[in-house]
Amino acid sequence: MIESWRWYGPFDPITLPEVAQTGAAGIVHALHEVPYGEVWTNDAIAARKAEITGAGFTWDVAESLPIHEAVKRGEGDLSTLFANYRQSMANLAANGIRTICYNFMPLLDWTRTDLRAPLARGGSCLRFDASRMAAFEIHMLGRAGAEDEYSQDVRNKAAIWFQQSSESDREALLHAIMSGLPGAFDRYDIAGLRDVLQSYEGIDRDTLRANYKRFLQEVVPAAEDLGMVFCVHPDDPPRDILGLPRIVSDGDDIDWILSAVDSPANGLTLCSGSLGANPANDVPAIAARFANKIRFGHLRNVRKEPDGSFEEAAHLEGDTDMVALADVFVTEEARRREAGEDFASIPVRPDHGHEILSDIGAKSVPGYPMIGRLRGLAELRGVFRALEYAATRG
């Protein structure tokens, strides 16, 4: 495995010299300051790569090269957006960055209702609370049809929370929901969110799939020519949000994507936390099913609740058997090396982390504290080393 670390560049209070002390070898990074749809220039990529390599790292994955919302909606003349995307790909490849992680989630990236939910033994974690999300959709946003998507018990709790909440409570909830958009991305107030949701009116699951397939048809051949790989990140959480369809939520969705454009360049980011939030998903089994298509790994764990809520667990705790999942990665990497395949080594990173110890009050990017991820990386490193040792012993 290539032990990697997500770094947000100018938006990250954690410095590269600090990351170096974690033992990670690679950096996962994006030019978050570039607006969606614009070209990542060769000069900007080269400058950032020089900063990363100058600190003793490799830049292993571009995460994410974002997709403009017009592409997801399939609206208007998209030729310039597709051309810009391919040019950004070419500029990354020219700088030796050949793996691109991306997602096709409409409007919002990962979604949480609490950025610092308290943990029993101290510290905090990211949390998705179904009743707070229902309160937001039903009582704050007033989205038509939202009531039908939640159980009566969740709706009752949502009404109580809303009645008892202060204006600052509601502002904090909106802020949390918007916080999955890092860097120079748009944030919305309630009125703005209502307006932008209208732009998705009439776009159902089939329409979004058709627009996604068109995107793949536009960029995957270019990736093949450039010697690059794409790896789609699953939806987070793996359920419809704000009435918008999510189409990368389980094994069948992944199978459709990888079959839509059958190519070695069309691959998967195996995110154990995103897939793990769906009670129907057996994450190690999904990883084994698509092992030869995994190009990147996000390793984290979640603890689910019956009403659809979940929160981030420690990396070796939670509902996903992380040792079984790590074994899939070790086995697949060994197979690739034996076969002499390109991209044999899989970049993996500890995804998210608890805010603990000196993380508390450090104002890190939500979900990306220093000590919590360092704990996760150390735990995962131990698992990988033990599995690799066992494999060599037969």
Catalytic residue numbers? 233, 271, 298, 351-352, 368
CB 354 within 8 A of CB 106: no
Q: Tally Cβ neighbours within 10 Å of residue 389.
A: 9
Burial of 137 (C-beta count, 10 Å sphere; 0-12/13-18/19+): buried
Question: Which tokens sit at 202?
Answer: 């009439």
How many Å is the maximal CA-CA distance in the chain?
62
**Residue 343 zone, left/alpha/beta (φ > 0; ψ -120 to 50; rest):** left
The CA–CA distances, whole Å, from 55 to 15, 21, 50, 61, 246 equal 10, 11, 8, 16, 38
Residue (of 343, 353, 284) closest to 1 by Cα position: 343
Q: Tell me if 204 sits within 8 A of 245, measured CB to CB.
A: yes
Sheet holding 124-128, edge to edge: 114-118, 124-128, 310-313, 301-304
In contact, 383 and 330? CB cutoff 8 Å? no
Angle at 178 between CA 251 and CA 59, to 5 degrees: 65
